Structure 1
Amino acid sequence: MAAVYIDISPAILDWLIKKNDLIGNETVYNVLMKWKKGDKKPTFNQIEQISKKMQIPLGYFFLENPPVEDCSFTEFRTVNSQGENEEPSANLVDTIDMMLNIQDWMRDYIKDMGQDKKAYVASCSENMPASSLAEKIRHDLNLSEDWMIAQKTAQDSFKFLRHRCQNMGILIMMNGIVGNNTHRPLDVKEFRAFTLVDDYVPLIFINAKDSVNGRLFSLLHEIVHIWIGINSIYNKVENNEENRVSPIEITCNAVAGELLVPHRLFISKWRKNQEPVLKKVSTLSKVFTCSQVVIARKALDTQYIQEDMYHKIVALAVDFYKNSQEKHAGGDYYKTMVSRLDPQFIFAIAASAQAGRTSYSDVYRLTNTNRTTFKQIYQKMLSGEGGVNS
């Protein structure tokens, strides 16, 4: 009996090739490219095999156009947060999809372990005063008001805060590319971070392409979203006008600012410092391990500087960032991989695999690793080694 060949629409083939970029399967890529070029036509059995390898529903291969990705959980905004909807990039969609898969797996695992819901998730209202919200978050995370003073740099503060969140069961993931694909960088102009609120496994993803100061403020901003129980895509840039940002984002920024630069401490240190304004802002940014824009915002809100000085500081900070944007390439490969993943997730999925409850193919798929890489990451985490900017 002659084989029956099937036509797959060009739009579906293009979509499948983009999806395979995330997986990085060279064999699948070669097959898809042959189908796209018309060198070969697939049989039903061949389509079924590719469907299993890519973990994409078989029915999708027979559609005329790709399925619409479900990103309805949050509002997507332009880089200037102007309230205008735009189509999210494939890189953002695929990253969210990966994090949702990790969250789904972790939720099932935690429920199987008999763990309860996280009481702090959605425990606050976005209508609470920023000071009250900040105090509740500090209490739940066991943070002193001056927790940042003991840190030497913004990177130290980020690492300290990340560990506190992980101790509370919040997954903190970070990457500057889609999965492990260096050809698909994440654009900080599109988003700086996002939050997937969940009663069992709240998850924060940080765009590693952002500056160290940016990552720290984004983490604080997303923490607030968990406490008020609202998902977010955070993409506010330093020169935004507040009247072009949604009320919830304004609230989260205010609370993040209070957590990083507490009002009482700020006033005390500002009054004691007798340096000229620009120098004073620079000095206090080092004291509080944050960007000069955060300090300038505090100074504006407390009426220690005028708006023209605030905008001057913002403009200088933006120019500095553009001229000295950090490079994230290079470095130790395994340390970078460790920095991307949350130890809670790695230890959980390793234990599940060792118990025979999760296949190792699923382990490698969810972590974007292979046998060797996963083993190295696991060992480094066991030994307490951190990653780059972890």
Structure 2
Amino acid sequence: MAAVEVTIAPAVLEWAIRRTGLSDDDLSAQFPKLDQWVSREAKPTLAQARKLADKAHVPFAFLLLEAPVADNSGVADFRTVRSAAIAELSPELQDVLTAAESRLAWYADHSEASGVEPPAIFASVPGGVSVREAAQETRAVLGLPPEVPLKGSEKVLSLARSMEDAGLLVSRNSIVGNSTKRSLNVEEFRGFTIEDSGFVLVFVNTNDAKTAQLFSLAHELGHVVRGKPGLSDHSDRQELEQWCNEFAAEFLAPGEAVRQGYKSGEVLDEVDAVSRRFGLSREASLLRLQKLNLITKADAAEAYPVLMGAKPNEGESRTGAPQFPVLVRARVGERFFDTLTQAAVDGQVSDMEAARYLGARSFDNFQNLVAKRRPIGMQGA
């Protein structure tokens, strides 16, 4: 009996091939007759088409459409390469965005139905306000004292919780959902902020050093207070990205606090002191000292190659991963996790839908997550 063949429209085939992210050599190894499919000399079998859909991370039915499913998200894209806008999103970034938009849409609908107001911190800083004033006002809204470093060694978690207490959703992940085989590329994006009916979700790519994650979180907070959602790469090539970078630096390392701690010592010693105290990377600490005119541009230029040559590995330790519920709470955000699981317990959302949002693969897995929920006031900020 002849194998069942599948007809795939040329544009859909090209789109699916691109979504696999595989090199030409890997594609040839996985699909030996790919060139014949492209030239229309042959068609893939049903098994081969299903394999292509799997590698492209799309439902098989998508391959049967007449045109590709649009990959572009409606979120503004502030990322650039050599001053040019980036045209495409990787399948990993697209899928992370789609999942985040789905979670935020559910949360916004649920909050509105529950009488919860959108967070007041969104678009709370009008244009024309100085970076210093914006950082001070934002610290006040989050209940953080002025001119003081964030407390503790877990500054990323501390800031994330402060933002969630203000009504924001904060997701932190280095992979697509719970799939360890689909890593996020920090060179493609550092984070993003999305908005739905005034409710806001911030996502930070944690495939990076802790200091970089902290800066990314503060950078996205800049997008929040300016009311400018979008994808970020932290380049200075766009005015908004530059403003958010300056906001993040002032928010994390207030100028007056840095000046008070400055001892006019060796540049590298001062850089290390700022880095330890405020949770910035050594590079960001050097730039902060220069920005505040505590060191000269020449001092910074001389110290920079030394810093880069001795740059420590600030990546997260991979020894002893947290338990699955802890990971999921961070990946979807604590506020979302607790709101969703409580809604499931109260019968306001089906177990199947809630499990899908959390990435739970079995009922027992889902029940284990529900058992880890914490009370949440559900009051807006």
Distance 1:319 1:375, change over 3 A: farther
Per the TM alignment, residue 126 of structure 1 is displaced from its structure 2 partner at its CA by: 3.7
Distance in 1 of aligned mates of 2:82 and 2:193: 16
2:226 to 228, 237, 246: 228
Structure 2 counterpart SS, 1:173: strand
* Partner residue, 1:352: 343
* Partner residue, 1:276: 266
Contact 2:209 2:314 in 1 (8 A): no
* Partner residue, 2:279: 289
Per the TM alignment, residue 377 of structure 1 is displaced from its structure 2 partner at its CA by: 3.2
Distance in 2 of aligned mates of 1:336 and 1:41: 34
1:257 to 245, 249, 252: 249
Distance 1:101 1:18, change over 3 A: farther
Per the TM alignment, residue 374 of structure 1 is displaced from its structure 2 partner at its CA by: 3.0
Structure 2 counterpart SS, 1:202: strand
Contact 1:110 1:200 in 2 (8 A): no
Does 185-194 or 279-288 show the bigger shift?
Answer: 279-288
Provide structure 2 residue ranges, at least 5 long, that are not aligned to the other structure. Answer: 22-42, 377-381
Q: Which has the higher helix share?
A: 1
Distance 1:268 1:5, change over 3 A: closer
Does 2:240 correspond to 1:248?
Answer: yes
Does 100-109 or 329-338 show the bigger shift?
Answer: 329-338
Structure 2 counterpart SS, 1:108: helix
Per the TM alignment, residue 6 of structure 1 is displaced from its structure 2 partner at its CA by: 7.1
Distance 1:303 1:146, change over 3 A: closer
The one-letter amino acid of 1:189's match is E
* Partner residue, 1:125: 126
1:337 to 328, 346, 358: 328
Structure 2 counterpart SS, 1:303: coil
Distance 1:11 1:377, change over 3 A: farther
Distance in 2 of aligned mates of 1:316 and 1:373: 49
* 1:1-390 matches, cutoff 5 A: 7-9=7-9, 12=12, 37-39=44-46, 60=62, 62-78=64-80, 82-148=83-149, 150-151=151-152, 153=153, 156-236=154-234, 242=236, 245-270=237-262, 273-320=263-310, 325-326=315-316, 328=318, 331-334=321-324, 335-370=326-361, 371-382=363-374
Contact 2:78 2:231 in 1 (8 A): yes
Structure 2 counterpart SS, 1:105: helix
Contact 2:329 2:337 in 1 (8 A): no
Per the TM alignment, residue 356 of structure 1 is displaced from its structure 2 partner at its CA by: 2.9
Distance in 2 of aligned mates of 1:17 and 1:372: 36
Distance 1:373 1:116, change over 3 A: same
* Partner residue, 2:36: none
The one-letter amino acid of 1:209's match is N
Distance in 1 of aligned mates of 2:265 and 2:257: 17
Distance in 2 of aligned mates of 1:298 and 1:277: 12
TM-score under structure 1 normalisation?
Answer: 0.77
Distance in 1 of aligned mates of 2:155 and 2:314: 21
The one-letter amino acid of 1:71's match is S
**Overall identity of the aligned pairs, in %:** 24
Contact 2:121 2:166 in 1 (8 A): no
Distance 1:321 1:98, change over 3 A: farther
Distance in 2 of aligned mates of 1:375 and 1:317: 48
Distance in 1 of aligned mates of 2:268 and 2:131: 27
Contact 2:75 2:231 in 1 (8 A): no
Contact 1:81 1:246 in 2 (8 A): no
Structure 2 counterpart SS, 1:148: coil
Distance 1:144 1:221, change over 3 A: same
Distance in 1 of aligned mates of 2:206 and 2:78: 19
The one-letter amino acid of 2:164's match is Q
Provide structure 1 residue ranges, at least 5 long, that are not aligned to the other structure. Answer: 22-35, 43-49, 385-390
Contact 1:278 1:313 in 2 (8 A): yes
